[in-house]
């Protein structure tokens, strides 16, 4: 059976194929993150126990320490996964260790809404025990997704950090650019193909893109040289928003 892939068509028509993470990779990533949140919760409880052993500690304070410690430990255990996915933009420590990331069906980084949705549905995927529902769903669906992914419109793909693939580069460009994601993708794709295009074609495309995405670009007068056009495109991807 052929490995499942996610095919993304960019705004410039270039297709990018990403291999989908299977149940084994998903389980490995989950176990790494589960160990982190479990150790974090246990560390809080251990600190509380040690504090309660302090000589002369008033009983009311000791009781409050225990109650507070249990609450904090539960919050760490229950909220680690959604918070970690939001903060890391779909690349938790477990996912990085497995060489995977969470993306939308369009190949972009999911927003807060989809990430929260896929984590809320963990309550169903985890039923009746040890993620049986989620594991069965992953094995039966074409892209190895669980119910949370189906609802959120997300998929886990293989995208090792060290590979420096186009998805990683695009994510870095979008993060440091003031352009909307779709415009950042357009500029990124043009720069990726720049050297392979004929001089007249890349000049015409660069002028068209700059007129579309850069409000500061002056389209009147003599067109800039090719080197300047490329520099302006690269500056757009690295430009940060002015306050």
Which residues, 6 or more positions from 12, have their beta carbon under 8 angstroms from its beta carbon?
A: 186, 189, 190, 193
Looking at the fold, whether 155 and 39 belong to one and the same domain comes out as yes
Looking at the fold, whether 55 and 94 belong to one and the same domain comes out as yes
What is the pLDDT tens value at each position of the chain, 243 positions in all? 557 888 876 555 556 778 999 999 999 999 999 999 999 999 999 999 999 999 988 989 999 999 999 999 999 999 999 999 999 999 999 999 999 999 999 888 899 999 999 999 999 999 998 899 999 999 999 999 999 999 999 999 987 544 444 555 555 544 545 566 667 767 777 787 778 778 888 888 888 888 877 777 776 767 788 888 888 888 877 643 433
Domain end point (choices 133, 163, 193): 163
- The domain total for the chain is 2
The reported pLDDT for the residue numbered 196 is 76
Looking at the fold, whether 79 and 38 belong to one and the same domain comes out as yes
Model confidence, pTM:
0.67
Q: Give CA separation, 9 vs 91, 108, 176, 186, 214, in Å.
A: 22, 11, 23, 11, 23
Domain end point (choices 163, 192, 222): 163
Looking at the fold, whether 15 and 111 belong to one and the same domain comes out as yes
Taking the C-alpha atoms of residue 221 and residue 230, their distance in angstroms, rounded to an integer, is 18
Looking at the fold, whether 114 and 68 belong to one and the same domain comes out as yes
The reported pLDDT for the residue numbered 240 is 38
The reported pLDDT for the residue numbered 10 is 58
Q: Which domain holds residue 227?
A: 176-238
Across the strands, what pairs with 6? 18
Looking at the fold, whether 39 and 155 belong to one and the same domain comes out as yes
The reported pLDDT for the residue numbered 157 is 93
Looking at the fold, whether 60 and 117 belong to one and the same domain comes out as yes
Looking at the fold, whether 200 and 149 belong to one and the same domain comes out as no
Looking at the fold, whether 48 and 151 belong to one and the same domain comes out as yes
Residue 171 falls within a domain, yes or no? Answer: no
């Amino acid at each position: 059976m052929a490995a499942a892939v996610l095919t993304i068509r960019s705004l410039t028509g270039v297709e990018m194929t990403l291999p989908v993470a299977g149940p084994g990779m998903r389980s490995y990533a989950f176990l790494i993150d589960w160990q982190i949140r479990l150790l974090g919760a246990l560390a809080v409880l251990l600190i509380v126990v040690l504090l309660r052993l302090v000589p002369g500690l008033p009983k009311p304070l000791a009781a409050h320490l225990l109650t507070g410690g249990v609450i904090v430990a539960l919050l760490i255990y229950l909220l680690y996964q959604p918070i970690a996915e939001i903060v890391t933009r779909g690349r938790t420590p477990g996912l990085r260790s497995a060489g995977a990331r969470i993306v939308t069906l369009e190949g972009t980084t999911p927003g807060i809404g989809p990430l929260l949705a896929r984590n809320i549905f963990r309550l169903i995927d985890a039923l009746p025990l040890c993620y049986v529902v989620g594991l069965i769903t992953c094995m039966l669906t074409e892209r190895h997704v669980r119910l949370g992914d189906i609802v959120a419109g997300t998929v886990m793909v293989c995208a090792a950090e060290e590979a420096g693939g186009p998805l990683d580069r695009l994510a870095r460009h979008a993060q440091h650019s003031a352009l909307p994601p779709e415009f950042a993708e357009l500029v990124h794709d043009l720069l990726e193909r720049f050297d392979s295009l004929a001089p007249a074609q890349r000049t015409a495309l660069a002028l068209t893109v700059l007129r579309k995405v850069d409000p500061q670009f002056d389209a009147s007068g003599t067109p800039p040289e090719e080197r300047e056009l490329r520099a302006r495109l690269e500056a757009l991807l690295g430009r940060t928003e002015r306050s």
